[in-house]
Structure 1
Amino acid sequence: MSADGDRDDAQRAAREATEALGAWAAGLRWDDVPADARERLQLVLLDSLGVTALGARQPEQAALVAAWRPAPGPAPLVGGRRTTTVEAAAWLNATALVRLELDEGHKYARGHPGAHGLPAVLALAADLGADGADTAAALLVAYEVAARFGRATTLRAGAHPHGSWGVAGGAAGCARLLGLSAGQVAAAVDTGAGLPVAGAFASALDGNPVRDAWLGAANLSGLAAARMAAAGLARTTGTAAGSLGGLLGTFDAAELTADLGTRWDVRHGYFKRHASCSFTHPVADAVLDLRPDLPADPDQVEEVVVETHSLGSGLARTSWDSRLGALFSTPFVVAAAVVHGSVGPGVSAEPARDDPRLTRLAQRVRVRTAADLDARLPAERAARVVVRAAGREHVREVPNPVGDADHHPLGEAEVLDLLSGWLDDDATVAAVRTVAAGLPAAADAGALLRELAR
């Protein structure tokens, strides 16, 4: 078959799959969702709101809000003590959510489905005064569609997953909340697939906060795609085949509808207990397991060898000049775990991240790709750590990080414990818990959500 014929077939497959996905999303009702998937979505919401509130407290985020000068409006800035327009809330809450690399993620989607659409859906719900059950259904649609697009997309080497395939999920969730027809939801999804960011992974390694802006752009684009569909200005043409496929990588349209209605991807995500890129988490877990057997003086650690999969082996830089750069450095994470006994948000802030003991130890960390660990992707994101200290060799291997749904899942009690420790604010933790638990039954989601701006 000719190249043109292959492209036509790929576009046709993408169009048909998008139409089927749109019909499913438009017809989804909260009461029809299995109980465990509903409970998991509420846990994702709890975690996401808490992490957003924590991100809002960071000086970088406060500076962004001040520079933005958000106008008054109906949508809350979570933890920001004000309400603003839908667009400003979607962008600013999304960037706060990912500010500290603590947002929930999904190894099979190879990224963060929730962060691409939850802020936009919540901002729109606050504006519409939407029914809580409809809002919860729209949040789940946003997550599930984004995760399916993540499964379907294999980005080119060097591309970062923020802001690309996930836009389709945000578009789907917003379109569902607007009550659009099956065809209109499909058109919104198709349009979202045509609005990706082409972000370079190196930007994250360099500590460039443009990485956070990609999620703001994704949520804003999802809103725009849904509004275009509502106005009758969107079409379903199989856009993903050319944008996510031909330009940014490869695209398998069959993944959009695989087990549709029976597999709930929200069940298979992971929560984070370390403020760092998820690829560093199994490494951090291994080092923390070994730490009681290591010398009290980190300068006595002679060498740390980290073996990991190819997705994570590029995070090998031994120096950083910003918080974000540290969050994407496995040597930083190793050194922080040894020196501080944690990789919480505080260790990457100034001046903790420049502790001389930490920076010296990071120079002695080596990161390598291990073929046997690579072969275990995607079900496992394993790491093997060897620490040589005081004439002894300490070895630990972990298959997945703590928090992975397939390995060591975290429940509500564990998530609340993490949020309580990070926020150190019982009132804020209680507020996000009340909103996450009470949203599906709320008569007016907006009134409930605005409690997050107090």
Structure 2
Amino acid sequence: MGLIFSDFLHDTKATTIPGEILSQGRRWLLDLLGVAAGGTSTRLSQIIRDHAAEHFAPGRRSARMLFDGRVASPLGAAMAGGMTIDSLDGHDGHKLTKGHVGCGVLPALLALTEAEGQDDDRDFLAALVVGYEIGTRAGIALHRTACDYHTSGAWIAVATAALGARVLRLDTATTREAVGIAEYHGPRSQMMRCIDAPTMVKDGSGYGAMAGVSAAYLAADGFTGAPAITIEGADVADLWSDLGSRWRITEQYFKPFPVCRWAQPALHAVMTLRQDHRLTSEMVEQISVTTFHESKRLAIRLPATTEEAQYSTAYAAAVGLVHGTVGPDDVAEARFGDPEVRRLAGGMIVEESEAFNAEFPARRFSQVELRLKDGRVLNSGPTEAPGDPETPAPIEEIREKFYRYASPLGAVRAGAIDNAVSSLGKGEGMQSLRQLVSAPLPAGRKEGAPI
């Protein structure tokens, strides 16, 4: 591990990060917290938070779980938070990593700083940005060097171990051991297995966060694990040489809908045709989707679980045509019986295009054709989903989404979180934000219910 990595990790401060990059950190923080608040209503989140409380009991160090109130070890709190965010597939991501960094980095950083009694909001914001920079590069490096497609947890482990080394103020040699342990122990789970058979394991984010936090504490105790080849390998050196000059946090995409990013080009195409031609779903005989291979692999038509709904191109497109959008309610089990959605999803034609395959992952195209009952045929043309970094979503759209997803918290608490995030990095401390995101759901909120 070169000095560039170690110096960037340990010496980067809020005062050395450009203001617009700090604003990006606040932007993704607000979005992640909204998704986390919505995710607490899933069965996945309930199970993992109960599991962390029972099996990851705190020792000398403890941290509260996101939107739960109970304490766990920092490992358990990081794991529960990562899985809670991952339980509702609406968080930011990166095209070349084909995954997500923030969903593991944020809960790990919250857990580490609480466990170590660190409440400097300026350092927290700087560390969040640093986590995005390291995690994104580690993800690109793993895709470049490994023959299989691994979940986000694999590189989240590296990023969260690095953040652990920063919070614990480990020296360069011990930091090297920490990221090496994390890379070795991180969950290199095969993503396409969960695409083909969606279950609660999802993107490995929680286990990656847990593995990274564990690695930092192990290294601090003298455990060894270097080298991390996705950092130290000569074949990935170019990815790390521009730390501090190229800010990859600006390359993250925004997800307007809580379904896999690969389903969103088709969904957006359907919604655009619906709006442009003032359609109702009853006017449509059949939907045909031409897309890239990975999107076609989101193949379950009639989901029985929220995980299946979030990983379904056909279901998302059908909901978009029927309702004009897809929100957290639409991927909750209570909505799966809609006969019009079932008709359109069950009869949908989904094919792949070699031209679209060639563009993936840097670009994700889908094309939709609607055959109407009056004989007309409408075609969207090649379509990309909104929210890509080339055309970033305005902060007003991110804020509006936050309030929708955070509705289980109530308007007053959601507003207080919004204000606290906006003030982050101005020297006011972490106490207010930490309390707001650690307290449990309001009394009477039923776990597992749709938002």
The two structures have a TM-score, normalised by structure 2, of: 0.87
CA-to-aligned-CA distance 1:406-444 (integer Å, 9 cap, x gap): 13x123221111122233331232232233223323464
**Aligned with 2:105 (options 117, 138, 148):** 117
2:259 corresponds to? 276
Q: Distance in 1 between matches of 2:308 and 2:434?
A: 33
Q: Distance in 2 between matches of 1:377 and 1:350?
A: 31
Say whether 1:436 aligns with 2:417: no
Say whether 1:237 aligns with 2:227: yes
Q: How does 1:217-228 map to 2 (within 5 A)?
A: 217-228=207-218
1:133 corresponds to? 122
Which amino acid counterpart does residue 309 of structure 1 have in structure 2?
F
1:449 corresponds to? 434
Q: How does 1:257-296 map to 2 (within 5 A)?
A: 257-292=240-275, 293=277, 295-296=279-280
Q: How does 1:48-197 map to 2 (within 5 A)?
A: 48-69=32-53, 71=57, 74-130=62-118, 131-154=120-143, 159-197=149-187
Secondary structure at the counterpart of residue 361 of structure 1? helix
Q: How does 1:377-388 map to 2 (within 5 A)?
A: 377-388=360-371
Equivalent residue pairs, number: 428
Which amino acid counterpart does residue 395 of structure 1 have in structure 2?
N
Which amino acid counterpart does residue 389 of structure 2 have in structure 1?
A
Q: Distance in 2 between matches of 1:377 and 1:203?
A: 19
Secondary structure at the counterpart of residue 333 of structure 2? coil
Secondary structure at the counterpart of residue 441 of structure 1? coil
Q: Please, which moves more after superposition, 227-236 or 172-181?
A: 227-236
Which amino acid counterpart does residue 125 of structure 2 have in structure 1?
A
Say whether 1:216 aligns with 2:206: yes
Say whether 1:373 aligns with 2:356: yes
> Cα distance, 1:196 vs. partner?
2.4
* Contact residue 64 and residue 72 of structure 2 kept, 8 A: yes
* Contact residue 139 and residue 152 of structure 2 kept, 8 A: no
Question: Mind listing any 5+ residue stretches in structure 1 that lack a counterpart?
Answer: 1-14, 246-250
Q: Distance in 2 between matches of 1:112 and 1:440?
A: 23
* Contact residue 22 and residue 172 of structure 1 kept, 8 A: no
Question: Mind listing any 5+ residue stretches in structure 2 that lack a counterpart?
Answer: 440-451
Q: Please, which moves more after superposition, 327-336 or 118-127?
A: 118-127
Q: 1:241–1:176: structure 2 CA closer, same or farther, 3 Å change rule? A: closer
CA-to-aligned-CA distance 1:77-99 (integer Å, 9 cap, x gap): 32224444322221111111111
Secondary structure at the counterpart of residue 377 of structure 2? strand
* Contact residue 306 and residue 332 of structure 2 kept, 8 A: yes
* Contact residue 162 and residue 211 of structure 1 kept, 8 A: no
The CA RMSD measured in Å over matched residues stands at 2.5
* Contact residue 75 and residue 446 of structure 1 kept, 8 A: no
* Contact residue 53 and residue 71 of structure 2 kept, 8 A: no
Secondary structure at the counterpart of residue 207 of structure 1? coil
Q: 1:178–1:67: structure 2 CA closer, same or farther, 3 Å change rule? A: closer
CA-to-aligned-CA distance 1:175-230 (integer Å, 9 cap, x gap): 11222223333332222211221323222442310226x21111111111111232
Which amino acid counterpart does residue 423 of structure 2 have in structure 1?
G
Q: Distance in 2 between matches of 1:50 and 1:400?
A: 24
> Cα distance, 1:237 vs. partner?
2.3
> Cα distance, 1:103 vs. partner?
1.2
> Cα distance, 1:231 vs. partner?
2.5
Q: 1:59–1:109: structure 2 CA closer, same or farther, 3 Å change rule? A: closer
Q: 1:241–1:415: structure 2 CA closer, same or farther, 3 Å change rule? A: closer
Q: Distance in 2 between matches of 1:31 and 1:284?
A: 41
CA-to-aligned-CA distance 1:21-68 (integer Å, 9 cap, x gap): 233212211210111111001111111112111111334423443454
Q: 1:420–1:51: structure 2 CA closer, same or farther, 3 Å change rule? A: same
2:395 corresponds to? 412
* Contact residue 81 and residue 453 of structure 1 kept, 8 A: yes
